[in-house]
Structure 1
Amino acid sequence: MSLLERRPAVTVFLAFAFAYFFSALLRGVTATLSPTLTREFSLNATELGLLAGGYFLGFAATQLPLGTWLDRHGPKNVILCFLLVAVAGCLAFSAATSFPALMVARILCGVGVSACLMAPLTGYRRWFTAPAQLRANSWMLMTGSFGMVGSTLPVQWMVPVAGWRPVFWLLAGALGLAMALIAWAVPAWPSTPAGKEPHPGGYADVWRHPLFRRMSPIGFFSYGGLLAMQTLWAGPWMVRVSGYDPLQAAQGLFLINVSMLCTFWLWGMLNPWFARRGWSAQLMITWGLPLSFISLATIIIAGPAAGAWAWAAFCITSTFVSLAQPAVGLAFPAELSGRALSAFNLVIFAGVFVIQWGVGLLIDGFGAAGLGETGAFRCALAVFLGCGVMSYGYFVLAKDNSRQ
């Protein structure tokens, strides 16, 4: 499939970005709504972590078949089918009256938007040049940060006026509009007949690849941990440890997500420049990711004094690990890119689910052992920090036969 000219390439990017904006808003909305949902449904930390993680559980569950479908049927057909499920999930969440109903709806939402990043990245692998892919990847993540910003103060302002359920009615309508834009703007994809693989390799080739194995632990703990903190635990920390009220916490999340937006915009500007000078993703992750461990350790030590700015610093310094995703995509042939990207996305979102739920379990567990709320949060994050440092150690010591 040939490269797209500049104008249709921009149109395709904007159509996909519109859908990804609302998928990210849907991802982050539980952090803003956590005080409201906790109060209305009497949720404990474990249930709150499980509810937020349900999105990522649904997301992760689809990644392996998603990759095969993307390579065979193309981004356009696949994302349109998935977004129908997302619309149903939003409507179901808005109608839920119990924790199990919320959980099922949240999983449906995760399933429905699980193609919103992988579909465009698979298309970009064939339609864009390598430098343009690096820029488009970062700017898709920037668009996601716009969505995360939209999930903070705008949602917090809307809830006292209309309640939290209409938020999900609006999300369902917006995702329906995104489907119309994608159907209009995105090119068709030559289909591969069922029974004939679009590439002679498969997931076994992906899992065996040295670069994939090297990137996977940091994808699980650092990338997954970044999303777990950004989309859930930064909010409860600000409320329950730093003493913010719900509006102040929403303002703090707004600050965090604006910081992420600016960071991903900057990565999009700089990535082609780094690529031209031979600065590999592996090299930049090696030198940059330890800053996130320092930031998280500072939060743990500072305790109640660590507020929104400290969490913004952690999220910004964690974005070095986002370079792993396009590096994995570029390491495979274009015909295998959907499966490679989806397999790595499975690693990331499995990490988000495990960390979101696991941190909740640890908070409740340390609390039951007699620690106060601040001590329980600190110890839970210390366990998370230890896992991140060990995964980084593996990344540094492992070999991937790639140029440094």
Structure 2
Amino acid sequence: MEKQNSAFRWVIFASVIFAYLIMASQRTAPGLITDQIMGDFNVTATTIGLLASIQFFVYTSLQIPMGILVDRYGPNLFLITGALLTGVGTVAYSLSTHEVVLFLARVLTGIGDATIWVSLVLILSQWFNAKEFAQLIGVAGMTGSLGFLLATVPLSAFIDSVGWRNSFFSAGVLLCLIGILLYFVLVKKPNQTFIKKREKQSERTLDLLRRIFSSRQAWALFMCHFGVVGGYIGFIGSWAVPYGMDLYGMSRFEASQLIMISLVGALIGAPLIGWVSSRLNKIKQPYVVFHIIILFCWSIFLLYKGQPPYALLIMLFFIIGFGFGSNSLTFSAVRLSFPIKESGLVSGFANTGGFLSAVLLPSIFGKILDIFQISSGNIGDGYFYGFITPILFSMIGLIGVLLLKENWKKADSY
């Protein structure tokens, strides 16, 4: 294809990756100001858990529909609109004066965020050949972790400097400007149509959905992603900073440094685990190993009554983050298990599993904290029993990866 030989494709790549970096940072950024939101709006831990979950709930519920729409009509409209919606939602969050506005702002952010991954995958497949795509999709996965990393020490320092409202307002404005940039890069410069209907599919959407939903392999991938994503993103994005502050007496800045260690683990883990899988020419075996490691790490929190020694705590956060990097193996398995014409839908289905767990964990964890804080007044007991949640989620992931079949079908080329 002509566009796959064009030097402009690297401008496309840089622009889309930058958009993903900033949008990903807004998934976990509210976790840095949990205590301030509770104080400013006088809300409970349960409400904070629901607030943290609502964006992931919207994101999750839209993954399959977005995969169908992007595949049928092209990614340009959805990615540009998504960046703008995420920006508007972030600005509204910074200006809110009531918890209802906070919820509505996170809904807008979730709708915008739901567009980025499936659009990014399709854009890269259009502009890059199969070999380049396989390499760049790994870079894209690392970018998500870089976005989470951006929402730790750098954003925490910015919040301490200018206040949480000004910092979120600035991020929202930047995202709106990115939306405008994407219009010129994706549509105006290459002279593409804003939205283009693709060729009529040979199989009806309803029949395709029915077939995918009845596939054991698809459900195994759903469970794999459920187990490896939810405990990490759900905990990091909502309760990790309060956990460090409540049980270890850390400042917000110190707690965000602890989270940064976990994110560094994810940055190292993603490319390294992918390299190991490629060298072994296997996906299931390394994925089983890392699911077991993650389950073991969460279990250690229970062994120490929710408060392991500080040195061990650092190791646990790093290893859990490193293990989270194995989530890219889900999409490697999708690519090798299903024809390319179905990989977008199946990727959305598997991604739904991951972010469903990220929706459930903050709310469940917050509810447990409220129950034990009311009944015993001991927040430590709440965190101790709260850690049962990521353990159960990790068990589901381990079951999924054990059910995974590694007799790969030959995938279509891009």
Would the TM-score normalized by the shorter structure come out above 0.5?
yes
Contact 1:211–1:400 (CA under 8 A) maintained in structure 2: no
State the Cα deviation string for residues 118-143 of structure 1 (Å, max 9, x = none): 21113334544555434323211211
Contact 2:4–2:127 (CA under 8 A) maintained in structure 1: yes
Pick the aligned partner of 1:379 from 381, 385, 390: 385
Instruction: Give 1:79 shift.
Output: 0.8
Separation of aligned partners in 2, 1:199 and 1:71: 13
What's 1:263 paired with? 269
- Which structure 1 residue ranges, 5 or more long, are not aligned? none
User: Percent identity of the aligned residues?
Assistant: 21
Give the TM-score normalised by the residue count of structure 2. 0.87
The residue type equivalent to 1:46 in the other structure is T
Instruction: Give 1:347 shift.
Output: 2.0
Instruction: Give 1:395 shift.
Output: 2.9
Separation of aligned partners in 1, 2:29 and 2:250: 18
State the Cα deviation string for residues 36-56 of structure 1 (Å, max 9, x = none): 222222232211111111111
Instruction: Give 1:330 shift.
Output: 4.5
The residue type equivalent to 1:179 in the other structure is G
Separation of aligned partners in 2, 1:151 and 1:14: 20
Secondary structure, counterpart of 1:244 in structure 2: coil
Structure 2 matches for 1:291-310, cutoff 5 A? 291-302=293-304, 303-304=306-307, 305-306=309-310, 307-310=313-316
Question: Is structure 2 residue 315 aligned with structure 1 residue 313?
Answer: no
State the Cα deviation string for residues 15-53 of structure 1 (Å, max 9, x = none): 111011111111121121112222222232211111111
Secondary structure, counterpart of 1:121 in structure 2: helix
What's 2:348 paired with? 342
Contact 1:72–1:198 (CA under 8 A) maintained in structure 2: no
The residue type equivalent to 2:32 in the other structure is T
Instruction: Give 1:278 shift.
Output: 5.4
Q: 1:286 to 1:254 in 2, by over 3 A?
A: closer
Instruction: Give 1:381 shift.
Output: 0.9
State the Cα deviation string for residues 329-372 of structure 1 (Å, max 9, x = none): 45333333332222222222122101111111122234445372
What's 1:11 paired with? 11
Pick the aligned partner of 1:224 from 224, 230, 244: 230
Separation of aligned partners in 1, 2:123 and 2:316: 36
Aligned length: 398
What's 2:50 paired with? 50
What's 1:388 paired with? 394
State the Cα deviation string for residues 198-257 of structure 1 (Å, max 9, x = none): 755532232233321111112123222221122222222211122212121122223322
What's 1:235 paired with? 241
Pick the aligned partner of 1:284 from 279, 283, 286: 286
Contact 1:210–1:401 (CA under 8 A) maintained in structure 2: no
Question: Is structure 2 residue 210 aligned with structure 1 residue 204?
Answer: yes
Separation of aligned partners in 2, 1:168 and 1:382: 33
Q: 1:342 to 1:177 in 2, by over 3 A?
A: same
The residue type equivalent to 1:318 in the other structure is F
Question: Is structure 2 residue 43 aligned with structure 1 residue 40?
Answer: no
Contact 2:28–2:148 (CA under 8 A) maintained in structure 1: yes
Pick the aligned partner of 2:257 from 230, 239, 251: 251
Pick the aligned partner of 1:351 from 354, 357, 365: 357
Deviates most, 250-259 or 377-386: 250-259
Separation of aligned partners in 2, 1:179 and 1:231: 24
Separation of aligned partners in 2, 1:383 and 1:210: 25
Secondary structure, counterpart of 1:97 in structure 2: coil
Give the TM-score normalised by the residue count of structure 1. 0.89
What's 2:197 paired with? 192
Q: 1:366 to 1:133 in 2, by over 3 A?
A: farther
The residue type equivalent to 2:334 in the other structure is V
Instruction: Give 1:111 shift.
Output: 0.9
Question: Is structure 2 residue 30 aligned with structure 1 residue 30?
Answer: yes
